[in-house]
Amino acid sequence: QVQLVESGGGSVQVGGSLRLSCTASGTAFTPFAVGWFRRAPGQHREFVAALTWSTGLTYYADLALGRFTVSRDIDKNTVYLQMSSLKPDDTGVYYCAAAPQTMTDYIGDYDHWGQGTQVTVSS
């Protein structure tokens, strides 16, 4: 069974940066893709970015384009989400998830989820 653990969240001011990490443990970690999602207070979970585990091909939601970068370190079983130019609207709980067969923005395609890490952006 794969476990995903997010870290790196915290409080930051508008315009600041954070780097989130998602580290996998347990059985061999060979997903097709790993994605980042977030849930703002009172909102549904939404897609942020994803990448394919083997090739590093990336896919971003419009909200992330030009500000967020997703990357991975295969040796460390870790996926990163580098966030910059943060805005108050970026506040929420950020989750990583693994998809076995495809890279999409659809939550239902992801079958392993972390517990989330809180990001708070204040003005």
AA identity, residue 114: G
pLDDT computed for residue 16 by the predictor: 98
SS3 67: coil
The whole-number pLDDT of residue 28 equals 85
Beta strands in 14-113, from DSSP E residues, in sequence order = 18-26, 33-39, 45-52, 58-60, 68-73, 78-83, 92-99, 112-113
Q: What is the mean pLDDT of the chain?
A: 96
Tell me the pLDDT tens digit for each residue of 61-119: 999 999 999 999 999 999 999 999 999 999 999 999 999 999 999 999 999 999 999 99
The arithmetic mean of pLDDT across residues 48-73, rounded, is 98
Residue 71 neighbours by CB under 8 Å, 6+ apart: 51, 56, 79, 80, 82
